[in-house]
Amino acid sequence: MSAAKDRLVIFDTTLRDGEQSPGASMTKDEKVRIAKMLEKMRVDVIEAGFAIASKGDFEAVKAVAEAVKDSTVCSLARAVKGDIERAAEAIKPANRGRIHTFIATSPIHMKYKLQMQPEQVLDEAVKAVTLARNFTDDVEFSLEDASRSDFDFMCRIIEATIKAGAGTINLPDTVGYGEPGEYGRMFKRLIEAIPNADRAIFSTHCHNDLGLAVANSLSAVMHGARQVECTINGLGERAGNAALEEIVMAVRTRQDMMPVETGINAEHIVPTSRLVSSITGFPVQPNKAIVGANAFAHESGIHQDGILKHRETYEIMRAEDVGWNTNKLVLGKHSGRAAVKARFEALGIIFDNKDALDAAFMRFKDLADKKHEIFDEDLQALVSEMEPQDVVDHYQLTSMSLNTQTGTKPHATVLMSVDGEDFTAEAKGSGPVDATFKAIESVVNSGTSLKLYSVNAITQGTDSLGDVTVRLEKNGHIVNGVGADTDIVVASAKAYMHALNLLATEGGKSHPQHGGI
Ligand code: KIV
Ligand code: ZN
């Protein structure tokens, strides 16, 4: 009989560290939608935000804690009383809630950022863990910048925080400086040296500044780590975090090297990747491992021939195991409400009430009038561009028309309503989208600056929906508006108004950076 394998805990931080990617802000409803997908994928721990960072972050953590039943819901907190109390409040509704508290332990961070002596840092860490344990039994402690910290100091602080009740000890490679051999050995040495190490799970959290986040995380797993912190599509601060899909599939594919098991249902990987990409406006590069459009595409004749003869000649994983087979024709003009609802549910999109389902069904019907074949990607785009319930519809596109002719400047006429009042605006621009945005601005005068404009064809064919992201910034606040339509200029106008509505609703949000204490 084979021995039971160790469980590798998958801790997803797309909603917290992922959101720290410049420009990747998400609304509360969007976070809940992603969290539900992560839960469906059977992620063990969902880090839903940094509750103290803003009212919006607090509300989002709380909403995720209310919505998610099966995964543990976690909030980040600096090793500060106020942070920990706020995190505790936010995770209260969770079936299982975790407080993740951290303080920097490297000489450079302690001296320049915290301006604290190591003994003070140790005291604050123990106090933080002790306080957090008053609110939940599940406390994680992170030694920020662990990969550049002194070994003996780490031994002392880890032993003390485990004694104070931390069940998970996270050793982040905060600045992406680690190298796989060295980072992995750090885990082994610490686990061997710390007398009470067996009372905690050791965790990795790697950033990708040198492109080594996944390699470093896997090396840590080979040296005793039993939790990996990661994000969908590798989203995250600067160059991002270790990509969840790569970690999960590497562990599954190389069981000979990493005989541990995750609880992840990998079939939800591709739909979740798409959802995160469409919500954040961060496209997935075609050659990205696992979730890139070309990840399973074999172009060379020799490879195709080999695959036809014996699939394993060139394929180490099956596309359908990570959810690629969901890209199939599912619905059309004649599909009924029940079929549409069932397909939405298969994609992890559950409507809380009949009105929301009715609205989605109406949009589906509109789309089916314009587009013959409705794919899963279309359904996802359709939902992404529906105004979430927490966004007020100040600005609405009523209709628009365009005049374009080779050799002349395009001219846009936009009919829109602002808080119920109708306006007509016209403008010329260097292109049809430019003219449309200028027309909208002539009414709105938003004072925003455009940070990103991207348009992607959601499916193949010229009747594809165009999925547009518009990123606007105002006074340091950033929002991502999304819009989808078979007409990409209409999609652009919708995305622009969605971004304006987001700014009007929440004033946007600035990103919680790793501040000092
Ligand atoms: O990168 C980092 O060190 C972090 C910690 C707060 C866990 O994100
Ligand atoms: Zn991080």
Contact 333, 340 (CB under 8 A): no
Q: Tell me the C-alpha distance between 92 and 17, whole Å.
A: 21
Q: Tell me the C-alpha distance between 200 and 159, whole Å.
A: 10
Domain shared by 496 and 370, yes or no: no
- Residue 386 tokens, joined: 């529906």
Question: Is 144 a pocket residue for ligand 1 (Cβ < 6 Å)?
Answer: yes
Q: Residue 140 CA to chain centroid, in angstroms?
A: 21
Of residues 328 and 117, more confidence is placed in 117
- Residue 405 tokens, joined: 């002719």
The answer as to whether 252 is a domain residue is: yes
Q: Which residues pair with 144 in a beta bridge?
A: 104
At 306 the pLDDT is: 80
Domain shared by 348 and 489, yes or no: no
Which residue's structure tokens are 């951290």?
102
Domain shared by 267 and 190, yes or no: yes
Which tens digits make up the pLDDT trace of 5-16?
999 999 999 999
How sure is the predictor about 380, in pLDDT bands with cuts at 50, 70 and 90?
Answer: confident
Domain shared by 405 and 435, yes or no: yes
How sure is the predictor about 328, in pLDDT bands with cuts at 50, 70 and 90?
Answer: low
Q: Tell me the C-alpha distance between 344 and 351, whole Å.
A: 9
The answer as to whether 443 is a domain residue is: yes
The answer as to whether 228 is a domain residue is: yes
Radius of gyration of the chain, Cα coordinates, nearest whole angstrom: 24
The answer as to whether 377 is a domain residue is: yes
Question: Is 17 a pocket residue for ligand 1 (Cβ < 6 Å)?
Answer: yes
The closest alpha carbon to 37, from 296, 344, 468, belongs to 344
The CATH number assigned to the domain holding 254 equals 3.20.20.70
pLDDT at 490 over 90: yes
Q: Tell me the C-alpha distance between 470 and 453, whole Å.
A: 5
Query: What is the DSSP code string of 4-47?
Result: PPEE-EEEE-TTTTGGGSTT----HHHHHHHHHHHHHTT-SEEE
Domain shared by 444 and 304, yes or no: no
Of residues 380 and 450, more confidence is placed in 450
Q: Whose CA is nearest to atom 5 of ligand 1?
A: 144
The residue-averaged pLDDT of 234-246 equals 97
pLDDT at 509 over 50: no
Contact 87, 102 (CB under 8 A): no
The model's pTM: 0.83
Structurally, the chain folds into a number of domains equal to 4
Least confident segment among 212-216, 235-239, 365-369, 374-378: 374-378
Of residues 350 and 148, more confidence is placed in 148
Contact 245, 231 (CB under 8 A): no
How sure is the predictor about 313, in pLDDT bands with cuts at 50, 70 and 90?
Answer: confident
Contact 250, 214 (CB under 8 A): yes
- Residue 29 tokens, joined: 């409803």
pLDDT at 279 over 90: no
Question: Is 240 a pocket residue for ligand 1 (Cβ < 6 Å)?
Answer: no
Counting ligands in written order, which one lies closest to the CA of residue 50?
1
At 297 the pLDDT is: 78
Q: Tell me the C-alpha distance between 366 and 192, whole Å.
A: 62
Domain shared by 217 and 166, yes or no: yes
pLDDT at 508 over 50: no
At 389 the pLDDT is: 57
The answer as to whether 448 is a domain residue is: yes
Least confident segment among 61-75, 334-348, 417-431: 334-348
Contact 211, 249 (CB under 8 A): no
Counting ligands in written order, which one lies closest to the CA of residue 171?
1
At 327 the pLDDT is: 45
pLDDT at 385 over 80: no
Domain shared by 93 and 195, yes or no: yes
Which residue's structure tokens are 């320049």?
112
179 Cα: distance to centroid of ligand 2 (angstroms): 16
Contact 400, 420 (CB under 8 A): no
Q: Considering the chain, what is the average pLDDT of its residues?
A: 91
The residue-averaged pLDDT of 168-190 equals 98
Domain shared by 187 and 212, yes or no: yes
How sure is the predictor about 363, in pLDDT bands with cuts at 50, 70 and 90?
Answer: confident
The residue-averaged pLDDT of 377-390 equals 71
pLDDT at 129 over 50: yes
What residue spans of 52-150 are helical by DSSP H?
Answer: 55-67, 81-91, 107-108, 118-133
The answer as to whether 285 is a domain residue is: no
Output the CA torsion sign for 83, 84, 89, 90: positive
How sure is the predictor about 388, in pLDDT bands with cuts at 50, 70 and 90?
Answer: low
Q: Whose CA is nearest to atom 2 of ligand 1?
A: 174
At 325 the pLDDT is: 67
The closest alpha carbon to 36, from 271, 257, 253, belongs to 271
Question: Is 174 a pocket residue for ligand 1 (Cβ < 6 Å)?
Answer: yes
Domain shared by 404 and 381, yes or no: no
Closest ligand 1 atom to Cα of 100: 7
At 51 the pLDDT is: 98
Q: Tell me the C-alpha distance between 183 and 225, whole Å.
A: 11
pLDDT at 265 over 80: yes
How sure is the predictor about 272, in pLDDT bands with cuts at 50, 70 and 90?
Answer: very high
Give me the amino acid identity at 358: D
How sure is the predictor about 74, in pLDDT bands with cuts at 50, 70 and 90?
Answer: very high
At 517 the pLDDT is: 32
The answer as to whether 332 is a domain residue is: no
Rama region for 447: left / alpha / beta (φ>0; ψ in -120 to 50; rest): left
Domain shared by 306 and 358, yes or no: no
At 166 the pLDDT is: 98
At 130 the pLDDT is: 98
Domain shared by 358 and 270, yes or no: no
DSSP 415: E
Domain shared by 470 and 354, yes or no: no
**Strand pairing category for 9-12 and 227-230:** parallel
Q: CB-based contacts of 10: which residues, under 8 Å, 6+ apart?
A: 43, 44, 45, 227, 228, 230, 244, 247, 248, 262, 263, 264
Range of the domain at 354: 337-385
At 336 the pLDDT is: 86
Which tens digits make up the pLDDT trace of 433-488?
999 999 999 999 999 999 989 888 777 678 778 888 899 998 888 888 888 888 99
**Strand pairing category for 168-173 and 329-331:** unpaired
Q: Whose CA is nearest to atom 8 of ligand 1?
A: 17
At 371 the pLDDT is: 78
Contact 432, 412 (CB under 8 A): yes
The answer as to whether 122 is a domain residue is: yes
The closest alpha carbon to 169, from 204, 218, 125, belongs to 204
The residue-averaged pLDDT of 35-50 equals 97
Which tens digits make up the pLDDT trace of 288-302?
999 998 898 776 777
The residue-averaged pLDDT of 91-111 equals 98
Q: Tell me the C-alpha distance between 11 and 247, whole Å.
A: 11
The CATH number assigned to the domain holding 409 equals 3.30.160.270
